[in-house]
Chain A
Amino acid sequence: MKKFAYYFLTAILSVTLFANIVYAAYQYYSATLPPFKGDTTLISGTKTTGYDNIFHRNISIGGNYDAVDVWIDRKNADNSWTRVSDNVTHYEGGGPYTTPVANVDLLSGQFIRARGQNHDSTWVNVAIQGEIDLR
Chain B
Amino acid sequence: MELFKILKLEFNLLLNRKEFLYAFTVSLFLMIIVFFINLHNFFQEYMMNIPSANQLWVGFDSLIGDLFYMFLLPLLPALAYADTYYLDIKTGAYKSILTRCRKNNYILAKGIVIFVSGFIVVLVPLLINQLLYFIIAPLHSTKNLLGWPAYMFIPTHNMIFESLFLSNPYLYNILYMLLAGLVGSLAALMSYSISFITNKSRLIIVAAPLVIYLVGNFINALLGKANYCLNYYLQGFVVIGGLNADYFFIVLTISFIVSISIIFFKNMTVKDELY
- Chain A contact residues, CB within 8 Å of chain B: 37, 62-67, 86-89, 91, 99, 119-124
Contact = CB atoms under 8 A, between A and B. Distances in A.
B73 to A, nearest CB: 13
Interface stretch (B127-135, B184-192, B236-244): B236-244
A113 B155 CA distance: 27
A91 B222 CA distance: 22
Contacts, number: 56
Interface residues of B, number: 25
A37 B248 CA distance: 24
A64 B225 contact: yes
Interface of B: 63, 66-67, 70, 145-148, 155, 158, 217-218, 221-222, 224-227, 229, 232, 238-242
Contact of A65 (B67, B70, B226): B226
Given A63-B226, A87-B147, 14 more contacts: A63-B221, A64-B225, A64-B242, A65-B226, A86-B147, A88-B146, A88-B147, A89-B146, A91-B239, A120-B66, A120-B226, A120-B240, A121-B66, A123-B217
Contacts of A89: 145-148, 239
Contacts of B67: 121
Contacts of B145: 89
Nearest to A85: B147
Contact of A124 (B146, B221, B227, B240): B221
Contacts of B232: 120
A119 B239 contact: yes
Contacts of A122: 221, 226, 229
A65 B224 CA distance: 9
Nearest to A37: B63
